[in-house]
Amino acid sequence: MAIERTFSMIKPDATQRNLTGKITAKLEEAGLRVVASKRVWMSRQQAEGFYAVHKDRPFFGELVETMTAGPTVVQVLEGEGAILKNREVMGATNPANADAGTIRKEFALSIGENSVHGSDAPETAAQEIAYWFSGIELVG
């Protein structure tokens, strides 16, 4: 399988509970390498832009509120099949449906406060990385 890069976020519900290290450890244990990382408190405009694909969904307002409620850690992860691997380690969107051992099963509070984001495909990974990072910030 090819070496890929994917975009990951540790969401405000998790940074506020001081879970950045525990979540990053799970990603690293799965073989993913953090090649870029920074802590940002996103503005409403940044959150609306990042989640624009969901703008017509009924939960959009709640999503933007949740994502601007505290700091977020944005990361780029690298590894073999990194996009799918990250999604596996994250677990299902709703923690009630997430498999044992996944980040969302262990740490998420609800479907809205579900601790992490991860890109779902190569195209979205490239777009999401470019949304938050410039090329010189990626250090493999």
Return the ∠ at Cα 51 (arms to 32 and 43), rounded to 5°.
Answer: 95
Sequence-ordered alpha helix ranges (H) in 18-136: 20-29, 44-50, 60-67, 82-90, 103-107, 122-132
Distances (CA, A) of 85 to 26, 37, 99, 103: 11, 18, 14, 12
Which part of the chain contacts ligand GDP (CB under 6 A), choosing from 13-21, 55-63, 71-79, 122-130? 55-63
Site string for ligand GDP, 65-104 (x = CB under 6 A): ----------------------------x-----------
The reply to whether 16 sits near ligand GDP by the rule CB under 6 A is no
- C-alpha 51, offset from chain centre: 12
Question: How far is Cα 61 from Cα 25, in angstroms, rounded to an integer?
Answer: 31
5 is in an annotated binding site: no
33 is in an annotated binding site: no
The piece of 12-20, 33-41, 77-85, 106-114 that touches ligand GDP (CB under 6 A) is 106-114
Task: Specify the residue, 3 or 109, whose C-beta has the smaller distance to ligand GDP.
Answer: 109
Q: Which amino acid type is present at position 81?
A: G
Q: With binding defined as CB under 6 A, does residue 114 bind ligand GDP?
A: yes
Of the candidates 10, 82, 117, 132, the residue annotated as catalytic is 117
Q: Is 31 in the site for ligand GDP (CB under 6 A)?
A: no
Number of residues this chain uses to bind ligand GDP (CB under 6 A): 9
Which amino acid makes up residue 57?
A: R
Reply yes or no on whether 117 is catalytic: yes
